[in-house]
Amino acid sequence: MPLLEAKLGAGRVLALTGDWGLYVLNSSASMLWELHAQGWDVKGMASLLSEGFGLDGDTALAQVESLINQWHQTGLIEPCCSLDEACSEQSRRARRNPGFVARYPDSSGGSIRATSAADEPCAVRADVHKVPKNRTLAEPHPAHFTLALAGMSLSLIIDDTGLAQCAVPLVQSLRVRDEGRIAHRLHLAGGIEDWTLWQDDRVEAEGQGSDDALVMTMRTLVEIGCHQTERLMIIHGAGLALDDGRGLLLIAPGGSGKTTLAAALNAAGYGLLSDDVVPVTPGGELVGLGMPLCLKAGSWPILSSIRPDLEESAIVWRYDEPVRYVPPRGQPLTGSLRPGLLLFPRYRPGSTVAVFTQPLDYAVLRIIEALGKNSQYKPPYQRFSSTRFIRRVRLPPFYLT
């Protein structure tokens, strides 16, 4: 199909003859478009992107692959050998929008908004805005999922077929057949280009793009699991099940590798409660959310040998960062467990693995720090609950790794 293109400041506007879409590329995406037209391969473009914006190699490669996959899917470029065998599998898994769709409509009332390089200089973003014509659209056939989350039953309805297909692997670990008593109802209404997420009778989020829709749906599920009146507190950490039926709590700041460690332990046979936030009951028990692991790009090469299915999981752009949602190994845990062990892992590349017993005051301090990391999830009273938690769990061992 013939392609029309024109410069737009530092960016570029693309259109397919006979299509009803206009594609606006920001300066970074426009630069990669020119390089692709000159015959550059994916690895070469990723290397240039990494050097120019200070990105690590995996992140730069994932961004370039996703952008070219989108161009393939929208018909802007023909499938070719430029992706090489290294990313041909990802090309087959690509969706209509792997994270480069603009989030916000043009506030001026127009249909097109150009993104300047100053908006997000490190993001490789192709902003897609459709200009509708008179078209006859088929009636949607909503997909209905019944989910088990933190001991509750939830209903999730997704109108758009494409969004529903993308959501299936993300909620697979939560799906159940028996509805039981539905505690909350989620409805992802609309389509990829204009969606609204409803929770019960209120709008939880709205926006554009499949990745944002999926990320907000997953985030809302976590919030539902955390925002219950019977929560003592919400800990920024990962929770697993020990062989004796008690809980293991990993407490560490962001970037410490706790999710990677939790994924490795889960692959080794430890049941997963949660990989990022762990709700705690008033009795001091750890609540299993049953959510999939959310793995950032840095963990992919580390976990690929023990989670070979990782490479088959689609890349989702979450807050401008590529992640993969992977279902936990074994039976999802949505009940509650009494803690039996608290670990405070530290990320120290090249260091010898060591474990040190820590005193009670150290554990209390680390727990207090962990309470403030996820302000969107925490109950208002949780700052006063750390010592109560320690008393309720009957002083499990505390270890620093």
Residue 111 and residue 252 in one domain = no
Residue 282 and residue 386 in one domain = yes
Sequence-ordered list of residues with C-beta below 8 angstroms from that of 109, at least 6 positions apart, any chain: none
Rg (CA), the chain: 23
Residue 109 and residue 168 in one domain = no
Q: What letter represents residue 365's amino acid?
A: L
Distance separating alpha carbons of residues 366 and 344, to the nearest angstrom: 8
Q: What pLDDT, on a 0 to 100 scale, did the predictor assign at position 382?
A: 47
Q: What is the pLDDT of residues 240-277, one digit of tens each?
A: 999 999 999 998 877 788 999 999 999 999 999 999 99
Q: What is the pLDDT of residues 381-391, one digit of tens each?
A: 444 455 566 55
DSSP 120: -
* 3-state class (DSSP) for residue 15: strand
Number of separate domains in the chain: 3
Q: Report the sign of the C-alpha dihedral through residues 260, 261, 264, 266, in that order.
A: negative
Residue 45 counted as domain residue: yes
Mean pLDDT of the chain: 76
SS3 letters for 131-176? Answer: CCCCCCCCCCCCEEEEEEECCEEEEEEECCHHHHHHHHHHHHHHEC
* 3-state class (DSSP) for residue 271: strand
Tell which of 185, 211, 226 closes a domain.
Answer: 226
Cβ atoms of 42 and 60 closer than 8 Å: no
Q: What pLDDT, on a 0 to 100 scale, did the predictor assign at position 372?
A: 56
Q: What letter represents residue 57's amino acid?
A: G
Residue 107 and residue 208 in one domain = no
Q: What is the pLDDT of residues 10-57, one digit of tens each?
A: 778 888 776 656 777 877 788 888 888 888 888 888 888 777 777 778
pTM here is: 0.62
Residue 388 and residue 278 in one domain = yes
Residue 164 and residue 58 in one domain = no
Residue 138 counted as domain residue: no
Extract the tokens encoding 189: 């209404």
Answer yes or no: is pLDDT of 180 > 80: no
Distance separating alpha carbons of residues 176 and 146, to the nearest angstrom: 6
Give the residue with greater pLDDT, 377 vs 359.
359
Residues 166-185, mean pLDDT to the nearest whole number: 87
Residue 335 counted as domain residue: yes
Using CB atoms within 10 Å of the CB of residue 236, give its burial: 0 to 12 exposed, 13 to 18 middle, 19+ buried: buried
Residues 149-172, mean pLDDT to the nearest whole number: 91
**Domain interval for residue 367:** 233-400
Residues 365-372, mean pLDDT to the nearest whole number: 73
Q: Over pLDDT 90: what percentage of the chain?
A: 35
Extract the tokens encoding 138: 């088929």
Answer yes or no: is pLDDT of 141 > 50: yes
Residue 250 and residue 371 in one domain = yes
Nearest partner of 27 among 100, 128, 118, 129, judged by Cα: 118
Q: What pLDDT, on a 0 to 100 scale, did the predictor assign at position 229?
A: 63
**Cα separations (Å) of 242 from 149, 263, 265, 312, 342?**
20, 14, 10, 28, 11
Residue 26 and residue 108 in one domain = yes
Tell which of 191, 226, 261 closes a domain.
Answer: 226
Residue 83 and residue 170 in one domain = no
Residue 136 counted as domain residue: no
Residue 248 counted as domain residue: yes
Beta strand 202-207 pairing with 194-199: antiparallel
Q: What pLDDT, on a 0 to 100 scale, did the predictor assign at position 233?
A: 83
Tell which of 130, 158, 180 closes a domain.
Answer: 130
Q: Return the number of other C-beta atoms located less than 10 Å from residue 96's C-beta.
A: 17
Residue 384 and residue 306 in one domain = yes
- Give the CATH number for residue 331: 3.40.50
Q: What pLDDT, on a 0 to 100 scale, did the predictor assign at position 401?
A: 59
Distance separating alpha carbons of residues 97 and 58, to the nearest angstrom: 20
Residue 98 counted as domain residue: yes
Residue 37 counted as domain residue: yes
Residue 394 and residue 278 in one domain = yes
Residues 303-326, mean pLDDT to the nearest whole number: 94
Residue 168 counted as domain residue: yes
Residue 125 and residue 274 in one domain = no
